[in-house]
Amino acid sequence: MKFSEIKYIRPDVEMIDKEISTLIDAFENAKTVGEKHKFISEINEKRKFYDTMQNICYIRHSVDTTDEFYDKENDFFNESGPLLFSVIKRFYETVLNCEMIEELKKLRPVHFFDLARVSLKTFNDEVIEDMQKENQLVSEYDKLIASAKIMFRDTELTMAQMGPYLTDKDRDTRKEAHEAYFGFISANESEFDRIYDELVHLRHKIAKKLGYENFIDLAYERMGRTDYKAKDVAVFREAVLKHITPVSNLLMEKQSKRIGIDHLMYFDNKFTFKSGNPKPYGSEKEIVNSARQMYKELSEETHLFFDSMIDEELMDLTAKKGKSAGGYCTYIHGEKMPFIFSNFNGTYGDVTVLTHEFGHAFQVYSGRHHEEPEFVWPTTEAAEIFSMGMEFITWPWMDLFFGDQTEKFKFMHMQNNLTFIPYGVSVDEFQHVIYENPDLTPKERKRVWRDIEKKYMPYLDYGDNKFLAEGGFWQKQGHIYQVPFYYIDYTLAQIAAFEIYNRFEEDRKKAWEDYMKMCEVSGSQPFTQILKMGHLSNPFDVEVIKEIISKVEMTINAFDDSQF
């Protein structure tokens, strides 16, 4: 069935609640472990129907935020989600308190019970209204970003459509484009400040109601992080500061010389080559056809899957007015298929989104055999291994997209992924400081951000851009508003992705087998266990970071960037 043909039905939450409650009662009264096992399966099916409709709504709403019908349906899910979680809480409690739990653990992966235990810590009926309000505020942020109408040289553009001008070969154009881009955020600064201020205080309030000192530990529990804590992430950030920031700074110094300027300004940071950044050849259709050839040659599994994604119209790729910013992959339980959302804008990111989001999509598709809704996705830091890893797995086919610019692309891709890591940990450290100090004013929060930027990315120079110089850059980063503490995940996964690159260089057959094994495991194991199953190292080990980054630096230095 094509996505456009999938029928949307607003779920009857009261009916679903009643049906699940009846099944929970039946579970409690069941006399055998087999019966209890069966009732868990039936409860999961009820949950999947709600989740299916929620994702159909989410996709159609993000494709066109001006659609009044799906805007109202999105509000419905903001309200109903926390209400439904009340009965899911009872389900988890009943399972965990079951007298046959040890026998159940022989029939279902142990990680299901661990995730249930963590999830119970994140909710009670007292916070339902607060969670509804939190959802509403996140939707306000999304709509504010999507509403951007940036006038640039007599043309009205969305934030995504500004992309090519932000990396234009002409330096004056780059500066003007950055000023226009951030000018939108600056013009709406008070609204961005209000939304975030309300979110921070609301999340702190929820955490206190649930017995936490502040929101940080609650956020880690919400993210399902069962095998590491904030102290482990702090060690990782320090390792980045020690072993990656110096390499990143050196690369940016080299970039300044490469593009022929004495001093990098903020609008130069993503302009990698004097001859211009590599851009994919062809239209959206031609890029997708090249991707079809790539995945046909990569493996039989990726071939069949990507063809299905095209045939069933499970991708919406082009930037357009009213469309949400960014890119994502989500999963439609009822179809047992994912959906890829993006904003093509003529930059090299059009290709990396077809590798990054495809990595996510292929992982959830490979794990569709798992019955538990909790297992479709791994925890987010593990999920990003599949997307960032796929970016490197597909390197042998980049000539399909970039032709004689392929080596230029590879150099830029590797450098950008390394220099991203200090930014990624900056986002994480910022959030730790903010939620440890929820009463900071908007101005103080921006000062915190600017100080952290200077620590991890000392080369940043905002010149006479007052908004950015005073610490406003982070307000473009949707994750900070939408999914707090979902960002360190990219940096942890990037270390794993670099290792995947190294392993594919050594033995593609064995490395692909391990990648497939991790895909099939999906979310049935925690992060560090998934790494072990894929024969990947633990990024919380400082020596691991030191060794992997050393190899990455060697790879980058092996390119003769003077030819670019």
Average pLDDT in the chain: 96
- Cα dist from 138 to 53, 144, 189, 194, 322, whole Å: 19, 10, 16, 12, 17
**Residue 563 clears pLDDT 90, i.e. is over it:** no
The confidence score (pLDDT) of residue 424 equals 98
**What percentage of residues in the chain have a pLDDT greater than 90?**
98
| H-run or E-run covering 338 | strand 337-344
Q: Report the distance separating Cα 400 and Cα 405, nearest Å.
A: 10
The confidence score (pLDDT) of residue 180 equals 97
Ramachandran assignment for 224, one of left (phi > 0), alpha (psi -120 to 50 degrees), beta (any other): left
**Residue 49 clears pLDDT 90, i.e. is over it:** yes
Nearest partner of 414 among 403, 398, 430, 431, judged by Cα: 398
**Residue 256 clears pLDDT 90, i.e. is over it:** yes
Q: Report the distance separating Cα 315 and Cα 311, nearest Å.
A: 10
Which tokens hold the place of 279? 């851009």
> What mean pLDDT is predicted for residues 233-257?
97
pLDDT digits (tens, 9 = 90+) for 454-484: 999 999 999 999 999 999 999 999 999 999 9
Nearest partner of 503 among 522, 518, 484, judged by Cα: 518
367 neighbors 521 (Cβ within 8 angstroms): yes
Q: Report the distance separating Cα 517 and Cα 366, nearest Å.
A: 9
The confidence score (pLDDT) of residue 375 equals 95
pLDDT digits (tens, 9 = 90+) for 303-345: 999 999 999 999 999 999 999 988 999 999 999 999 999 999 9
Q: Is the pTM of this model over 0.85?
A: yes
**The tokens 């406003």 sit on which residue?**
472
* Residue type (1 letter), 213: E
Classify residue 223 by its DSSP letter.
Answer: T
The confidence score (pLDDT) of residue 225 equals 95
The confidence score (pLDDT) of residue 564 equals 87
Which distant-in-sequence residues (6+ apart) come within 8 Å of 142 by Cβ? 62, 65, 324, 478, 482
* Residue type (1 letter), 486: Y
Q: Quick one: pLDDT band at residue 489, thresholds 50, 70, 90?
A: very high
Q: Report the distance separating Cα 354 and Cα 312, nearest Å.
A: 16
**What percentage of residues in the chain have a pLDDT greater than 70?**
100
Which tokens hold the place of 513? 């087998």
Classify residue 330 by its DSSP letter.
Answer: E
> What mean pLDDT is predicted for residues 235-242?
97
Q: Quick one: pLDDT band at residue 562, thresholds 50, 70, 90?
A: confident
Ramachandran assignment for 412, one of left (phi > 0), alpha (psi -120 to 50 degrees), beta (any other): alpha
Where along the chain do its domains lie?
Answer: 3-127, 148-182
- Cα dist from 491 to 57, 384, 461, whole Å: 30, 9, 23
Which tokens hold the place of 269? 């940071």
Sign of the dihedral defined by the CA atoms of residues 45, 330, 319, 457, in that order: positive
The confidence score (pLDDT) of residue 32 equals 97
21 neighbors 87 (Cβ within 8 angstroms): yes
Q: Report the distance separating Cα 243 and Cα 6, nearest Å.
A: 49
The confidence score (pLDDT) of residue 182 equals 98
The confidence score (pLDDT) of residue 325 equals 87
Q: How do the residues of the chain divide into helix, strand and coil, expressed in percent and rounded to 5?
A: 70, 5, 25
